[in-house]
Amino acid sequence: MSIPNQSKISAQHVNVWYGAKQAIADVSLDFGQDHVTALIGPSGCGKSTFLRTLNRMNDTIAGAKVEGDITLDGENIYSPDMDVVQLRARVGMVFQKPNPFPKSIFENVAYGPRIHGLAANKPQLAEIVEKSLRRAGLWDEVKDRLTESGTALSGGQQQRLCIARAIAVDPEVILMDEPCSALDPIATAKIEELIHELKGRYAIVIVTHNMQQAARVSQRTAFFHLGTLVEYGATSDIFTNPRQERTKDYITGRYG
């Protein structure tokens, strides 16, 4: 199957089971290289489960079974030849709660490049750390205290540190699972601004419960319901003129 140029990750007929319970049913979605794609839907609709299939995070969950084709640049990520550690470097992830390592700010960012052998020497490593922290919009706030613990930062700073950590290994795709749900509005705005800055450099897929956030940060929106993909389209269309009744009821707050 030919992959369109703009499609970075392509998921075709994906089914996911947790034991006997089917969490995702026949979902096909392509993610563009230059887009931020938002996955929205009520709790339990499968959006996070689907996100986690994109870098095989479900592998770590006992009883989870994934079927279907998911390709990154045309390469099947569930192929036995796929190096999962390598895959997760190429497809980075940022979680709901910031989870910095209990190490220094510097080490948090340096860890990935070091284990992946991305730096030949210390100055190069320092350069990667600075570049990553700058891209994550955190450098100016932490440059004088790189040796302090990452856990000493504020919640919003910790989340940007986690984004810097994901960026440090030079990923192609960044997955974000409700990255702002634990943050205050100002920290949220900074993350959203950061997503805007990162757009184009990385393909970004974000799961969010905040409809306004999906509208603000994404160019494409996919609405999930009961494990199925109900509607996928340009964000501006989904929020002004959704095609499906279920999408409309959900985004206008008439759900259920």
Partner 1 sequence: MPLNDHTVKAFDEDIGQLRGLIAQMGGLAEHAIAAAMEALRRHDLESAREIVAGDKRIDALQIEVEQLAVRIIALRAPLADDLREVVAALKIAGVVERIGDYAKNIAKRVPMIESHGEIEPLSVLPAMSALAVQMVHDALDAFAARDATAAVEVCDRDRQVDDFYNSLFRVLVTHMMENPKTIGQVAQLLFIAKNLERVGDHATNIAEMIYFAATGTHMAERDRGDIPTS
**What is the binding site for partner 1 (CB under 8 A)?**
211-212, 215, 239-242, 247-249, 251-256
Q: Closer CB to partner 1, residue 4 or residue 253?
A: 253
H helix runs in 93-204, sequence order: 105-115, 122-135, 139-142, 155-168, 185-198
Q: Which is nearer to partner 1, 123 or 256 (CB)?
A: 256
| CB-CB neighbours of 95 under 10 Å | 15
124 Cβ neighbours under 8 A, 6+ residues apart: none
CB of 50 to partner 1, least distance (A): 23
Nearest-approach distance from CB 28 to partner 1, in angstroms: 24
CB of 242 to partner 1, least distance (A): 5
Tracing tokens 């096909």 back to the chain, one arrives at 28
User: Cβ of residue 255: shortest distance to partner 1, in angstroms?
Assistant: 6
The least CB distance from residue 249 to partner 1, in Å, is 6
Nearer to partner 1, 43 or 241 (CB): 241
Q: Which is nearer to partner 1, 64 or 226 (CB)?
A: 226
Query: Minimum CB separation from partner 1 for residue 239, in Å?
Result: 5
In the sheet with 91-94, reading across from the earlier edge strand, the strands are 91-94, 173-177, 203-207, 36-40, 220-225, 228-234
Q: What is the Cα–Cα distance from 107 to 125, expressed in whole angstroms?
A: 10
* Cβ neighbours around 4 below 10 Å, total: 9
- Partnered with residue 72 across adjacent β-strands are 9, 75
For residues 208 and 247, which CB has a smaller minimum distance to partner 1 in the complex? 247
Q: Which is nearer to partner 1, 32 or 233 (CB)?
A: 233
How many whole angstroms separate alpha carbon 165 and alpha carbon 238? 32
